[in-house]
Amino acid sequence: MGSQGGFGQSKEFLDLVKSIGEARSKSEEDRIVLHEIETLKRRINEPDIPKRKMKEYIIRLVYIEMLGHDASFGYIHAVKMTHDDSLLLKRTGYLAVTLFLNEDHDLIILIVNTIQKDLKSDNFLVVCAALNACCKLINEETIPAVIQQVVELLGHQKEAVRKKAVMALHSFHQRSSSSVNHLISNFRKKLSDNDPGVMGATLCPLYDLIVIDVNPYKDLVASFVNILKQVAERRLPKTYDYHQTPAPFIQIKLLKIMALLGSGDKKSSEQMYTVIGDIMRKSDTASNIGNAILFECICCISSIQPSPKLLETAADAIAKFLKSDSHNLKYMGIDALGRLIRINPDIAEQHQLAVIDCLEDPDDTLKRKTFELLYKMTKSSNVEVIVDRMIDYMISINDSHYKTETASRCVELAEQFAPSNHWFIQTMNKVFQHAGDLVNPKVAHNLMRLIAEGFGEDDDAADSQLRSSAVESYLKIVDDPKLPSAFLQVICWVLGEYGTADGKYSASYISGKLCDVAEAHSSDDIIRAYAVTALMKVYCFEKAAGRKTSLLPECQSLLEELSASHSSDLQQRAYEFRAILDLDANAVENIMPLDASCEDIEIDKSLPFLDNYVHKSLEQGAEPYIPENERSGTLNISNIINRNPYEHPAHSLRFEAYEVPKPVVPTKLTPAVTYPTDLVPVPEPSYQPTLSSGPISDAGSGSGSGSTELRLRLDGVQKKWGKPAYSSAAASSTSTIDSQRTTDNGATQSDNVTSKSREPRQPHVEVSEEKQKLAASLFGGRTARPERKQSGSAAGHSKVSRTTNHVEDKAQPTTVATAVQPPPPDLLDLGESSGAVSSYSSSVDPFKQLEGLLDLSQDGHAVTTTSTGPDLMSLYSGASTNGQNQNQNQNLNPLINEKDNMNGAPNPSNRTASLTKGPSLKDALDKDALVRQMGVNPTSQNPNLFSDLLG
Amino acid sequence: MIRAVIVINDQGKPRLVKFYDYQPVEKQQEIIRNVYGVLCSRAENVSNFVQDSTFGPDTRLVYKTFATLFFIVIFDDSENELAILDLMQVFVETLDKCFGNVCELDIVFNFNKVHTILDEIILGGQVVEMSSSEVVKALDDITRLQKNPNSIVRVPKSISGWQGR
């Protein structure tokens, strides 16, 4: 039937589509399209084009623009077409303009008039077309032109018009809430529209409004609950059903709205409990849409005031999601779990293995979602495992956006929960090594500060231990040529500051490394600046300590090179260093005090100690100082003086180098600047005299503090690495040890705890040992473990016994013949254990060992042995991984049977459609024939062009 | 809200592109290229969801493959992934009802009609209709009135012929 109408387009268009389809390269395609554009440009401007022809041109224009080419030359014709009386042409025109134009385009003004006219049309389809256009094309300025009519259309007799009018008003509200604020009450009114479709549409704007402010809509809670109840009870006409689910989008929107309204509001929440419970009970977990609603219920439950009963139902639903075979449902399960653990953190524990499965899943989306979940449930007890995993994942991905996010999450978790400073340094090293250029530069400065200040406690031993472990680890990796710049800066700073502090490494060794860094990164001025300042510090500390100091030859040559550098900053640093070389130890110690970065320096920006001097000078007739940025480019001084200095601050000179050169290095740098001004030609000496005229030490500390101001203003800075994290370190470190030892630990534990009946299942335990280990370290302390295991094995047994008995019943009358047949799905457990038997080799007979517990006859045994044929093995091998998890989960999950059901019925809604109608070969052939008749051969490249989408 | 509905074929050629906030043509092409790149790298038998940062941190992308075509919907956190998946099913089922065993070629040649169908289902980025038979009915009305603006009698004619001559 589809073919007899043809494709409704001319041969030219078909040819265009075909030739583009056959284009072998992008450039060939571009050539064809450019040719088409030329043709259209010529033709579209010809006089007296028949309207039908024009319509086709416009469609071709839309097509061209969809392929990414500019079709703006034809926009005006699309606009003209909206004026046409014929509905077909008008709709084509509207379609084209909504695709071509944005709401701020100049041509819009030409359409507004047409829209106004069309909104008044008798023909409701014209009105609908105009309302469609309104949603896309009306901007803040043009809203007043149409708003009156749109509001009137809210009362139109056709529900399709009312629905579209609501949506148009909604889009106006999105564009400019101020211009429709007085009309918001209309949305409330339309909530009680006779037509459920209109009511459903009204929920969209109401949802947006409630997101902005909940309070004005609290009175609607009862109405929303009532509507949802009616929908769930199937009071709506059948036409709103989708796969036997009544009006799913309305239900979902309502649940979202209720989640917002019930959040932190006990009274409202209590009204919702019943209806949510009802919906969850009734929901059809076999269909996609049923699960969508179920998921929305969970979101709602986790957002409103918690109800223990509903939480329990939600937890059950999550269990089903996580155990499903469908990745989509697993994803939703992880998402839902992430929401629910905010209320009840314990819930994650029962799903630990499912979560770990998701973490190892090949599906990247699922993995990311799982990492998000882990991020939410990180505690000091599991931070090591989680951050390690996150870093591994971060290294493996390429998407820089997500890499950045993961890196900053790692940093955040490490700062918050670090169990030991060694671990912290190692973790930060890894993050910086792999994503150093992606993380926020602040993180680098934070790290330096943490190393300098330690835990913020007065534990000097721990602090110096932290520093030396940092120095040690940095020396190990500093030769890596691929280190990111931000990380090298940290390394240089730390080596300069603390490299020689513990006496483990000699000054010349550290200096050599720093010279290497400067050498290897000769194009990066910032790193070189950090390196040379670090060298200076190392030298100063040595000298101040009274040790014999000599400059390494490579250091000497580096200084020479930098003295001639194009960067004035580097040059300055080099000269400062040289100046220091000539000073005696006492002076050096004053300039470069040890550990100076930790000193709290009071800063008085107004430099009051100079006031006297300034006064005196002014009295003697000196010109008052004009701040740099007040001085305009003009050199006419009198001009400047006459001007109000606060009026027009114009930039003429850049002073960034003095204000904030690099947040860290300058501490040591500035004293050197002030001291040797007379000796060394420092760049921009012009305003130096003011400082140098004061007493040296004063000026030194004053300006030094000025330059460090950015870094050292510590008040108000959040100390994330404070006591709580530290105090928890002890607990977590024991758990680390625990997890490290788990291989034997787990084994002994199970030996102790489990009875002999557990032994046959031993192989599975071993297979998933690693997972269990991971689970244990992720989800909690060991105290809970033995208990769980015990109950787990008990549960496992009852299960095994049940299923085996079941087999026995069947097997006895019909003997082996039935047993060889592939077992029905609910025998999964038995199959899995028999698979294990064979892998265990025949030396141990598991069923013998079970005899005490199970009433298993010889027949049952026969069944298993016969069934260990190769094909059965292969059949089980697929199931066995599942089965294992199942076994592990049994204890945690009383709903095991549901899981089987879920496995058995994968997502039918997706398939129903394709099952109900197969591809019709005849139709495809008809279409093919038609296209050939029209002279278009289907492209050889894409023979599937005719394949039935639903087939 | 739904930000975009895109249909591309397995070679990355766009077949239907609808953005609910305006995007300049170059940006549209960039998005399509990125999406195609992401979809190509997806393994089989994984979820239909992709975290997507095209339109900000919270946008997600749901895709579904029908024969040679990827149907893609990009949306923010006010929608439900599973429900959107079913919405795509509705869209394709509707196309199927209108074209009769819909195939890629139908969509290429009749994309204006496909747009009309889409506009009945999603308006201004919000889902307004979930029933394919209702959409077909609405299209029927449009077709009839387009062909014969004064017709009162319902013409019993197949829908797919509505554009042909």
Q: To the nearest 10°, report the CA torsion of A840, A842, A846, A849.
A: -130
Helix (H, G, I), strand (E, B) or coil at B3: strand
Phi, psi dihedrals of residue B64, rounded to the nearest 5°: -150, 140
Is pLDDT of A4 > 60? no
Quick one: tokens of A349? 């524990």
- Give the single-character DSSP code of A235: -
* Top-confidence range, A251-260, A560-569, A590-599, A667-676: A251-260
Helix (H, G, I), strand (E, B) or coil at A118: helix
Q: Which residue of B has its CA nearest to A293?
A: B83
The separation between CA A602 and the C-alpha centre of its own chain, rounded to angstroms, equals 41
Give residue-wise pLDDT tens across range A245-256. Answer: 899 999 999 999
Please, what is the average pLDDT of chain A? Answer: 73
Is pLDDT of A528 > 70? yes
- The 3-class secondary structure across A42-104, one letter per residue, is HHHCCCCCCHHHHHHHHHHHHHHHHCCCCCHHHHHHHHHHHCCCCHHHHHHHHHHHHHHCCCC
- Give the single-character DSSP code of B71: E
Interval A548-574 mean pLDDT: 85
A263, A197, A259: which is closest to B126 by C-alpha? A197
B57, B78, B60: which is closest to A408 by C-alpha? B57
Interval A557-575 mean pLDDT: 88
Beta bridge partners of B16: B7
Please name the residues in contact with A20: beta carbons below 8 A apart, sequence gap of 6 or more.
A29, A32, A33, A67, B13
Chain B residues lying within 8 Å of A8, measured CB to CB: 109-110, 113, 163-165
Give residue-wise pLDDT tens across range A408-424. Answer: 888 888 888 888 878 88
**Residue A587 CB neighbour total at 10 angstroms:** 17
Q: What is the spatial distance between Cα A231 and Cα A501, in angstroms, rounded to a whole number?
A: 73
Beta bridge partners of B65: B70
Residue A9: which pLDDT band, with cuts at 50, 70 and 90? low
Is pLDDT of A277 > 70? yes
Q: What is the spatial distance between Cα A118 and Cα A126, in angstroms, rounded to a whole number?
A: 6
What pLDDT sits at residue A780?
59
Is pLDDT of A778 > 90? no
Residue A951: which pLDDT band, with cuts at 50, 70 and 90? low
What pLDDT sits at residue A116?
92
Helix (H, G, I), strand (E, B) or coil at A246: strand
Contact call for A366 and B47, based on CB within 8 A: yes
Q: Are B58 and B77 in contact (CB under 8 A)?
A: yes
What pLDDT sits at residue B150?
57
Give residue-wise pLDDT tens across range A184-200. Answer: 888 998 888 888 989 99
Q: What is the spatial distance between Cα B91 and Cα A43, in angstroms, rounded to a whole number?
A: 35
What pLDDT sits at residue A726?
41
Phi, psi dihedrals of residue A40, rounded to the nearest 5°: -65, -40
A469, A487, A484: which is closest to A424 by C-alpha? A469
Tokens 């991971």, residue? Answer: A774
What pLDDT sits at residue A823?
42
Name the least confident of A714-723, A917-926, B139-148. A714-723
Q: Are A600 and A712 in contact (CB under 8 A)?
A: yes
What pLDDT sits at residue A863?
41
Judged by CB atoms within 8 Å, which residues 119-138 of B form the interface with A?
Answer: 119, 123-124, 126-131, 133-134, 138
Is pLDDT of A204 > 70? yes
Is pLDDT of A942 > 60? no
Which helix or strand (DSSP H or E) is residue A787 part of? Answer: helix A784-814
Interval A593-603 mean pLDDT: 68
Bigger pLDDT: B82 or A793? B82
Interval A78-96 mean pLDDT: 90
What pLDDT sits at residue A291?
93
**Sign of the torsion angle spanned by Cα atoms A549, A554, A556, A559:** negative
Residue A598: which pLDDT band, with cuts at 50, 70 and 90? low
Amino acid identity of A309?
Answer: K
Q: What is the spatial distance between Cα A172 and Cα A140, in angstroms, rounded to a whole number?
A: 8
Chain B residues lying within 8 Å of A70, measured CB to CB: 25
Contact call for B146 and A9, based on CB within 8 A: no
- Give the single-character DSSP code of A584: -
What pLDDT sits at residue A128?
92
Strands B2-9 and B14-19: antiparallel
Contact call for A8 and B105, based on CB within 8 A: no
Q: What is the spatial distance between Cα A114 and Cα A432, in angstroms, rounded to a whole number?
A: 59
Chain B residues lying within 8 Å of A252, measured CB to CB: 80, 83
Tokens 């459903």, residue? Answer: A200
CA distances from A942 to A2, A611, A938, B64, B104 (A): 21, 84, 8, 19, 10
Give residue-wise pLDDT tens across range A120-138. Answer: 988 888 999 999 999 989 8
Helix ranges, A138-193 (H): 143-153, 159-175, 177-180, 185-190
Residue B156: which pLDDT band, with cuts at 50, 70 and 90? very low
Beta bridge partners of B62: B49, B73
Phi, psi dihedrals of residue A852, rounded to the nearest 5°: -60, -30
DSSP output for A749-771: HHHHHS-GGGGGGHHHHHHTHHH
Burial (CB count <10 Å: 0-12, 13-18, 19+), residue A94: buried
Please, what is the average pLDDT of chain B? Answer: 83
Give residue-wise pLDDT tens across range A835-888. Answer: 444 444 444 454 455 444 444 444 444 444 444 444 444 444 444 444 444 444
Is pLDDT of A892 > 70? no
A456 Rama class: left (phi>0) / alpha (psi -120 to 50) / beta: left
Chain B residues lying within 8 Å of A295, measured CB to CB: 80, 82
Is pLDDT of A59 > 70? yes
Bigger pLDDT: A517 or A737? A517
Is pLDDT of B7 > 50? yes
Instruction: Identify which of B13, B68, B133 has the shortest CB distance to residue A947.
Output: B68
Is pLDDT of A66 > 60? yes
Residue A458: which pLDDT band, with cuts at 50, 70 and 90? low
B58, B1, B131, B133: which is closest to A335 by C-alpha? B58
Is pLDDT of A680 > 70? no
- Give the single-character DSSP code of A193: -
What pLDDT sits at residue A657?
53
Give residue-wise pLDDT tens across range A308-354. Answer: 999 999 999 999 999 998 999 999 999 999 999 888 888 888 888 88
Give percent of chain A above pLDDT 70.
65
Residue B142 forms contact with A (CB below 8 Å) = yes
Please name the residues in contact with A732: beta carbons below 8 A apart, sequence gap of 6 or more.
A380, A381, A382, A383, A384, A417, A419
A779, A770, A756, A29: which is closest to A346 by C-alpha? A779
Residue A220: which pLDDT band, with cuts at 50, 70 and 90? very high
Is pLDDT of A708 > 70? no
What pLDDT sits at residue A931?
66
What ipTM describes this predicted complex? 0.89
Is pLDDT of A745 > 60? no
Contact call for A945 and B29, based on CB within 8 A: no
Q: What is the spatial distance between Cα A760 and Cα B109, in angstroms, rounded to a whole number?
A: 65
Is pLDDT of B89 > 70? yes
Q: What is the spatial distance between Cα A892 and Cα A795, in angstroms, rounded to a whole number?
A: 9
Residue B156 forms contact with A (CB below 8 Å) = no
What pLDDT sits at residue A79?
92
Quick one: tokens of A525? 């001025």
Judged by CB atoms within 8 Å, which residues 63-102 of B form the interface with A?
Answer: 66-69, 78, 80-83, 85-87, 89-90, 92-93, 95-96, 99-102
The separation between CA A950 and the C-alpha centre of its own chain, rounded to angstroms, equals 34
Residue A592: which pLDDT band, with cuts at 50, 70 and 90? confident
Helices (H) and strands (E) in chain A, counts: 50, 2
Interval A427-433 mean pLDDT: 85
CA distances from B164 to B122, B143, B149, B160 (A): 25, 11, 16, 8
Quick one: tokens of A315? 């937890």
Interval B104-111 mean pLDDT: 85
Please name the residues in contact with A198: beta carbons below 8 A apart, sequence gap of 6 or more.
A159, A162, A163, A166, A190
B52, B49, B92: which is closest to B69 by C-alpha? B92
Interval A805-831 mean pLDDT: 42
DSSP output for B16-62: EEEESS---HHHHHHHHHHHHHHHHTPPTTS-SEEE--TTSTT-EEE
Instruction: Identify which of B82, B104, B123 has the shortest CB distance to residue A292.
Output: B82
A372, A300, A295: which is closest to A336 by C-alpha? A295
Q: To the nearest 10°, report the CA torsion of A430, A436, A439, A441.
A: 120
